[in-house]
Amino acid sequence: MIKKEMIYRNPLVNLGYDNEDILPVAGFGAVLAYAGIGKTALLVQLALNMMLRKNSVLHVSLNEAVSKVDLWYKELFHDIIEKFGIAGINEYWDKIQPYRFIMTFKVEGFSAPKLEERLTDLMEQNIFKPHTVIIDGFKFDDAGRGQLVQLKELAKKYSMRLWFTVHTHRHEPPQENGLPLSFLHIADLFEVIVQLATRGDEVYIKSLKGKSNDSLKKDLLLDPVTMLIKDGK
């Protein structure tokens, strides 16, 4: 099996998180970065890790078509397979693909009640029940705290974990804890916060919230070509 041939352990554990799920049940996770740094690529790799462990992932995209999101998964999975020198990508992809479902919304049409309506349709027909939900493209600049509280309640109701991409702005300096000022009023709703930051040509992955203080911590980077996670040097 692929999980015996690949080192598929969730690489973010190396930042000091307690387990491969990273998030507890009903937990919120955020990946903060400027536009184009690799937020979606990082979350797709977390999703692939879950799929390899037979945990189902619902990927909700508020910006892109299903075909483009599917292509991200296939390309990153291909790069991972190639990295470990494993043959038969189609065979392995066919085994894990049922653990992922892609759902799209228009940004202005997304809300917790509408997500629950779509989720209920899937679960009542025994089509799909997510272990983790990725929400890519949520407009934090426009959203109030109330929308996130509703999503938190939804996560509790269905025992899910939610990951978000968060678009930050270069003109907004970070506070002492590394978080942008505009995110501070909702930071308490998140159990885990990770930031992508550039240093020269490299993209570093930094934990801002949620890791164990006594855990061994390493630097992690995103490869600028493949966007795969790798250990820092």
Q: Is the pLDDT of residue 222 over 60?
A: yes
Q: What CA–CA distances, in Å, run from 213 to 46, 69, 210?
A: 22, 35, 9
Cβ atoms 224, 201 nearer than 8 A: yes
Cβ atoms 12, 206 nearer than 8 A: no
Q: Is the pLDDT of residue 189 over 60?
A: yes
Question: Strand order in 132-136's β-sheet?
Answer: 100-104, 57-61, 132-136, 161-167, 28-33, 192-199, 202-209, 220-222, 229-231
pLDDT at 7: 45
Average pLDDT over residues 197-221: 75
Average pLDDT over residues 20-24: 85
CB atoms inside a 10 Å sphere around CB 79? 15
Q: What is the largest CA-CA distance in the chain?
A: 49
Q: Is the pLDDT of residue 194 over 50?
A: yes
The string of pLDDT tens digits covering residues 48-106 is: 989 988 999 999 999 899 999 999 999 999 888 887 777 777 888 998 999 999 999 98
Ordered domains of the chain (ranges, CATH): 2-231 (3.40.50.300)
- 232 token code pair: 């820092």
CA distance 174 to 160: 30
CB atoms inside a 10 Å sphere around CB 92? 20
pTM of the model: 0.90
pLDDT at 163: 97
The string of pLDDT tens digits covering residues 117-137 is: 999 999 999 999 999 999 999
- 62 token code pair: 């508020």
